[in-house]
Amino acid sequence: MNGTTRTVKVGNVLIGGGHPTIVQSMWKEAIGQIDTALTARVDALGRLGCGILRFAVPDMDAAERLGELAAVSSLPLVADIHFDWKIALRCLDFPIAKIRINPGNIGARWKVAELAGKASDKGVAIRIGVNGGSMPKDLEDRADRPAALVEAAEREVAAFDELGFTALIVSMKASDVDETIRANRLFASRHDIPLHLGVTEAGPAIPGIVRSTAALYTLLKEGIGDTIRVSLSDSEENETIAGSEIVALADGGRKNPSIISCPKCGRAGFDTHAFLSRWQGRIYALGKPVTIAVMGCVVNGPGEARHADLGIAGGGGKAIIFRKGAIPRTVPLEDADSEFGEELSRL
């Protein structure tokens, strides 16, 4: 969240200007049949905290399908286009919210002008997405990588500035955490354009979440960044949960459920891992800022998690279910799931 950037409208969402940091994800597959299964998954991503959803649009067929989805989607959609500017123009015939293009991909100035003109007419934002792995030739080998990322972005910004197009968002992503942090700090010190933060090619879930948190939490805590994506070799749902958690920690004002739970140890009589794997999805789907505790030990559990809205602590063949301000209830372990489920639905 950054109070010093200009505000850019992305569908029904406002980015920058001190508005809450928006979490994004990107669809992992080609856009298929637009059916209720697809729209239900989009809705579910929204409940997990996803505020904007991006799709790769590699060809005209994909543009048509994205257009069909945009007409019914509960989330603002972004068309991600490489190389072919005509695909971008076609996407602008539909109610999409943003276009993401790669620097240098559009080509001739008149093409940029046509694209900016049509986006402006339709009220569609444009994100310039600079990527450390695909830099302009003359910047590729510059030793100061953060400065090179910023310069690549500034060249694109200049092209849109000349045209008077201001609904811009910029991202500068590297696979290196320090480089990503430094590039965004430098850009933020010079411009009032909202920043989309991310680490690129961040890897599978564990290293990807570590790298994304290190870069994005650090920047958001400094007031840099208006929207983020945690990019993982993992599902859209997991990208969204991780992104929501980073924003909750960095900005405060949590909007998603918080799960606290024991790591399990040789003392624990309750399999918190198995319990969580059964309940985690439903807890996150609540889509509101409740704290749920899953504790491995009836002795310390309820005490350690007494601030939780709902908690369970197991051990010795029984479970204790506790709610903030209510007297803890002891139930047999075999009833723990059903009792927990009932309490959860009351939240």
Positions that interact with a second copy (CB under 8 A)? 26-31, 55-58, 62, 80, 82, 131-134, 175, 177, 200-211, 213-214, 217-218, 231-234, 238-239, 241-242, 245-246, 249-250, 258-267, 272-273, 276, 280, 293-295, 300, 303-305
Nearer to a second copy, 265 or 327 (CB): 265
In the complex, the smallest distance separating the C-beta of residue 260 from a second copy, rounded to whole angstroms, is 4
In the complex, the smallest distance separating the C-beta of residue 210 from a second copy, rounded to whole angstroms, is 4
User: What is the spatial distance between Cα 335 and Cα 318, in angstroms, rounded to a whole number?
Assistant: 9
Nearer to a second copy, 22 or 209 (CB): 209
Nearer to a second copy, 147 or 205 (CB): 205
Residue 310's DSSP bridge partners are 292, 323
User: What is the spatial distance between Cα 301 and Cα 313, in angstroms, rounded to a whole number?
Assistant: 6
Residue type, 276: L
Nearer to a second copy, 66 or 150 (CB): 66
In the complex, the smallest distance separating the C-beta of residue 288 from a second copy, rounded to whole angstroms, is 16
Tell me whether residue 134 is exposed, middle or buried, using C-beta atoms within 10 angstroms of its C-beta: 0 to 12, 13 to 18, 19 or more: middle
User: What is the spatial distance between Cα 85 and Cα 152, in angstroms, rounded to a whole number?
Assistant: 19
In the complex, the smallest distance separating the C-beta of residue 179 from a second copy, rounded to whole angstroms, is 12
Residue 98's DSSP bridge partners are 78, 125
In the complex, the smallest distance separating the C-beta of residue 121 from a second copy, rounded to whole angstroms, is 26
CA of residue 219 relative to chain centroid, distance:
15
Q: How many CB atoms lie within 10 A of CB 344?
A: 17
Nearer to a second copy, 9 or 264 (CB): 264
Query: Which residues are within 8 A (CB) of 65 and not within 5 positions of it... i.e. 6 or more apart?
Result: 31, 32, 34
